[in-house]
Amino acid sequence: MKNEGEAAKRPDNTAFTQQRLPAWQPILSAGIVIPSFLLIGLAFIGIGIGLFLTSQTIQVWEMDYTGFEKDSPCFRCTILSNQNCTCEVTFSLSTLFSVKSSYFPSDCSPYAYDSEKNPIVPCGAIANSIFNDTFELYQIINGTKKQVPLDGKGISWWTDYNIKYRNPSSVNSSFAKSFDGTVKPINWPKPAYELDLTDPNNNGFLNQDFLVWMRRAALPQFRKLYRRITDGDYAAGLPAGNYSLKVHYNYPVLSFDGRKKVVFSNVSWMGGKNDFLGIAYLVVGSLCVVMSVVMLVVYAKFKFSDDDDDA
């Protein structure tokens, strides 16, 4: 009766077509869930303790200088410990820079051309609004000010410096010439090719401060790295003592309720000081442990009543 053609339409009997592929589903049985909750809880508590302790070792000194008069004499500070640490000086702004890309559109408008149709270099609103306060730090030793050298090298991302940004090649061995026909951004006091006249590697688009600034901040309260203290006598960290900070106040924030801060902080593997994560880990870890206990109780209750019924 049967020939080969007759079963031609028979479906293939494979695990795939017959939907018999092995599958693993998380089996939520009490025996697995309760111990794993406990384990996760304990692990989290461990991590939390680690994070918290690390965070505690980070020393932060910050100062809100919004509204201080320009070039006003600074203050006395006696907070730095003797610890050897690489300190970072960062400035912190409380204002929105994360606004919609439409304010920073890719064609830079309206900061692409000035009124005479000259191209603005660097263009765009972010570049235009660059932070231009400068800080000078002095240690006061016996009444005399000793300047603390602030190291501005390598504060930007390596990739930004080496790959993403390029300076135009010099025209007639003059770097400034290559910017001919362009104008500086409206808010800038000086053009891009004069950002750092002392170091040609830190000038133009490769200026470290410029690169740092061009990384858009995500949140309204943000910090950006200004300098590191790594050089000379202070390579091992700022010793305890009195310091004076000289701020060249250029950047207006008061008009939009912004705040400016300067922050001295040492860093660890977890970045700046942040207690939140450690505490969060501790809380969640404890919660997990509690949950495992609750579940154990519930499970035991059911189990118990079950045994009752079985008996």
Residue 207 binds another protein, judged by CB under 8 A: no
Q: In whole angstroms, give the CA distance from residue 57 to residue 273.
A: 8
Per CB under 8 A, contacts with another protein among 52-81 are none
In the sheet with 221-229, reading across from the earlier edge strand, the strands are 60-64, 259-266, 87-94, 221-229
Per CB under 8 A, contacts with another protein among 249-288 are 253, 255-258, 269-272, 274, 276-277, 280-281, 284, 287-288
**Considering beta carbons, is residue 65 or 222 the nearer one to another protein?**
222
**Considering beta carbons, is residue 106 or 172 the nearer one to another protein?**
106
Q: Minimum distance between the CB of residue 197 and another protein, rounded to whole angstroms?
A: 25
The angle at the Cα of 33, spanning 31 to 35, to the nearest 5 degrees, equals 75
**Considering beta carbons, is residue 161 or 193 the nearer one to another protein?**
161
Residue 311 binds another protein, judged by CB under 8 A: no
Question: Which among 213, 171, 163, 169 has a CA at the least distance from the CA of 188?
Answer: 213
H/E stretch holding 49 reads helix 30-57
Per CB under 8 A, contacts with another protein among 145-174 are 157, 159-160, 163-164
Residue 214 binds another protein, judged by CB under 8 A: yes
Q: Minimum distance between the CB of residue 75 and another protein, rounded to whole angstroms?
A: 22
| Distances from the Cα of 76 to the Cα of 18, 63, 72, 244, angstroms | 79, 12, 13, 6
User: Do 245 and 262 contact (CB within 8 A), yes or no?
Assistant: yes
Per CB under 8 A, contacts with another protein among 90-149 are 90, 92, 95-106, 109-111, 124-129
**Considering beta carbons, is residue 193 or 281 the nearer one to another protein?**
281
Q: In whole angstroms, give the CA distance from residue 63 to residue 138.
A: 16
Q: Minimum distance between the CB of residue 177 and another protein, rounded to whole angstroms?
A: 25
Binding mask 10-29 for another protein (x = CB under 8 A): xxxx---xxx-x-xxxxxxx
Judged by CB under 8 A, the stretch of 77-85, 188-196, 231-239, 296-304 that binds another protein is: 296-304
Q: In whole angstroms, give the CA distance from residue 51 to residue 55.
A: 6
Residue 40 binds another protein, judged by CB under 8 A: yes
Per CB under 8 A, contacts with another protein among 225-244 are 225
Residue 220 binds another protein, judged by CB under 8 A: yes
Question: Which among 199, 200, 179, 201 has a CA at the least distance from the CA of 190?
Answer: 179
Amino acid letter for position 164: K
Per CB under 8 A, contacts with another protein among 187-206 are 187
Sign of CA dihedral 68, 74, 78, 80: positive
Count interface residues toward another protein (CB under 8 A): 91
Q: Minimum distance between the CB of residue 244 and another protein, rounded to whole angstroms?
A: 25
Q: In whole angstroms, give the CA distance from residue 154 to residue 125.
A: 24
Among 70, 169, 180, 219, binds another protein (CB under 8 A): 219
Name the token pair of 59.
């020393």
